[in-house]
């Protein structure tokens, strides 16, 4: 014990001498270590969620080999939080309950995913504009050549007081009755019956003799079909599903887990999953950007993870590597055995 204490005291003295020669170098080293460890804990533990800085700091100092803040360039946690905001490493905001921080993920995969989300939003806006223009064209096409006919009101005059005025409300015979009413006094009631019979025969011949034309789709039907097609082909930026086999592609966990297959046991917040490594049985919490899907051999069961058939299971029929596509046979109540 005496020998140990002697050696430790000499080592401590050498460290003090080195620190006294260049104190700024040691402070910069400890500040950098403190910053890296703090940000790594914030990223791994809380991701991009907004959290109180004291919660992160208390969890950080719970580790035995942490670097104390007195050895860094920041005197208080508030100074360090403000510095993170000025450097653009985190989003910080002050509230009556204290300072809150939010990690800014600058990982290339995360940036690529954000760009894909922006492109998808832009595509959705373009689809809405196309739909609005399509509706406008349908309305304009329906109104072309159709001017509203204003009714003309005339005074009812009777030349002979003994003449009887008759009204027939049958559909499609208004013009014939109007014409025959003028001559009813001259030709008599028999002529009026003859005109009515001719009109009825003409209508029946027109309805039975001519074949019915194929009914054109209305604007509403076309819009509904467009919406159904859009819903069927729509894609989302998240694809994780429980009990699917995935492959770990991130190298941040070391070679032990790189390229290892795992099974998704739980999906958290759509983008994060708790996976169980098949070889070792270890459980890890990973973002979907650190995982990729595993495609089985033809004839095996698969699940559609995105698009209009999302969540449906089927049998993998074939794989086209040149077109990066596959053919799946889905047999369920909603799809009724379809090939996609």
Output the domain CATH number for residue 290.
2.30.30.140
Last residue of a domain, one of 103, 133, 162: 103
Q: Is pLDDT above 60 for 180?
A: no
Residue 339 included in any domain: no
Mean pLDDT of 164-169: 66
Domain encompassing residue 59: 7-103
Binned at pLDDT 50, 70 and 90, residue 316 comes out as confident
The string of pLDDT tens digits covering residues 72-104 is 888 899 999 999 888 888 899 999 999 999 988
What is the separation, in whole angstroms, between the first and last Cα of the chain? 75
Residue 154 falls within a domain, yes or no? Answer: no
Question: What is the secondary structure of 221-238 as a DSSP string?
Answer: HHHHHHHHHHHHH---S-
Domain harbouring 62, CATH code: 1.10.10.2030
Cα separation of 181 and 103, whole Å?
A: 88
Residues 79 and 13 in one domain: yes
Write out the DSSP string of 150-169.
PP-------SSTTPPP----
Question: Is pLDDT above 60 for 10?
Answer: no
Do the Cβ atoms of 73 and 84 come closer than 8 Å?
no
Residue 285 lies inside a defined structural domain of this protein: yes
Please report whether residue 132 resides in a domain. Answer: no
Residue 278: the pLDDT is 92
Q: What is the C-alpha separation between 162 and 97, in angstroms, rounded?
A: 98
Q: How many domains does the chain have?
A: 3
In a domain, 11, yes or no: yes
Phi, psi of 36 (to 5 degrees): -65, -45
Is 303 found in the same domain as 287? Answer: no
What was the pLDDT predicted at 276? 93
Do 304 and 270 belong together in one domain? no
Burial of 209 (0-12, 13-18, 19+ CB in 10 A): exposed
Q: Final residue of a domain: which of 82, 103, 124?
A: 103
How many degrees, rounded to 5, is the angle at CA 115 between CA 114 and CA 119?
120
pLDDT of amino acid 262? 93
Question: Does 242 lie in the same domain as 314?
Answer: no
| Banded pLDDT at 154 (limits 50, 70, 90) | confident
Binned at pLDDT 50, 70 and 90, residue 177 comes out as very low
User: Which of 20-29, 141-150, 229-238, 298-307 shows the lowest per-residue confidence on average (mean pLDDT)?
Assistant: 141-150
Do 324 and 245 belong to one domain?
Answer: no
Secondary structure string (H, E, C) spanning 126-137: HHHHHHHHHHHH
My answer on whether 20 and 79 are in the same domain is yes
Query: 254 with 330, same domain?
Result: no
Nearest to 286 by CA among 313, 249, 338, 242: 249
Same domain, 242 and 328: no
Establish if 24 belongs to a structural domain: yes
For the entire predicted model, the pTM comes to 0.35
**Residues 265 and 303 placed together within one structural domain of the fold:** no
What is the C-alpha to C-alpha distance for residues 304 and 316, in angstroms, rounded to an integer? 10
Token digits for 18? 């080195």
CA distances from 151 to 115, 154, 166, 179 (A): 60, 10, 20, 17
- Average the pLDDT over 34-55 and give the result: 88
| Residues 78 and 22 occupy one common structural domain | yes
Spatial separation of the C-alpha atoms in residues 264 and 241, rounded to whole Å: 7
Q: Do 249 and 330 fall into the same domain? A: no
* Per-residue pLDDT at 318: 87
What does the DSSP assignment read for 11-54?
HHHHHHHHHHH-HHHHHHHHHHHHHHHHHHHHHHHHTT-EEEHH
> How many Cα atoms within 13 Å fall on the side-chain side of residue 157?
4
Domain of 328, CATH number, reads 2.30.30.30
Residue 18 domain-assigned (yes or no): yes
Residue with tokens 């889905």: 330
Is 21 in the same domain as 75?
yes
For 18, half-sphere exposure in the C-beta direction (CA atoms, 13 angstrom radius) is 9
In a domain, 175, yes or no: no
- Residue 246: which pLDDT band, with cuts at 50, 70 and 90? very high
């Amino acid at each position: 014990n005496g020998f140990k204490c002697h050696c430790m005291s000499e080592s401590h003295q050498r460290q003090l001498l080195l620190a006294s020669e260049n104190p700024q170098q040691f402070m910069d080293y400890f500040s950098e270590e403190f910053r890296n460890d703090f940000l790594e804990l914030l990223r791994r533990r809380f991701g991009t969620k907004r959290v109180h800085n004291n919660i992160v700091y208390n969890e950080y100092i719970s580790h035995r080999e942490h670097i104390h803040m007195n050895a860094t360039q920041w005197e208080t946690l508030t100074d360090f939080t403000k510095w993170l905001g000025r450097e653009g490493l985190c989003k910080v905001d002050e509230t009556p309950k204290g300072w809150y921080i939010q990690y800014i993920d600058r990982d290339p995969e995360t940036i690529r995913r954000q760009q894909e989300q922006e492109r998808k939003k832009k595509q959705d806006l373009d689809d809405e504009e196309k739909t609005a223009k399509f509706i406008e064209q349908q309305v304009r096409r329906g109104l072309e050549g159709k001017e509203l006919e204003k009714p003309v009101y005339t005074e009812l005059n009777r030349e002979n007081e003994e003449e009887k005025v008759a009204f027939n409300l049958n559909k499609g015979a208004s013009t014939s009755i109007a014409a025959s009413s003028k001559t009813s006094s001259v030709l008599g009631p028999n002529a009026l019956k003859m005109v009515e019979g001719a009109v009825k025969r003409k209508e029946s011949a027109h309805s039975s003799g001519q074949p019915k034309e194929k009914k054109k789709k209305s604007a509403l039907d076309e819009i509904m079909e467009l919406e159904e097609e859009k819903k069927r082909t729509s894609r989302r930026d998240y694809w994780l599903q429980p009990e699917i086999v995935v492959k770990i592609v991130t190298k941040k966990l070391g070679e032990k887990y790189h390229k290892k297959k795992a099974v998704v046991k739980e999906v958290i917040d759509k983008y994060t999953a708790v996976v169980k490594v098949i070889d070792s049985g270890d459980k890890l919490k990973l973002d979907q950007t650190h995982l990729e899907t595993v495609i089985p051999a033809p004839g095996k069961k698969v699940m559609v993870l995105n698009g209009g058939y999302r969540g449906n299971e089927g049998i993998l029929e074939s794989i086209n590597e040149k077109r990066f596509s596959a053919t799946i046979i889905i047999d369920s109540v909603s799809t009724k055995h379809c090939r996609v």
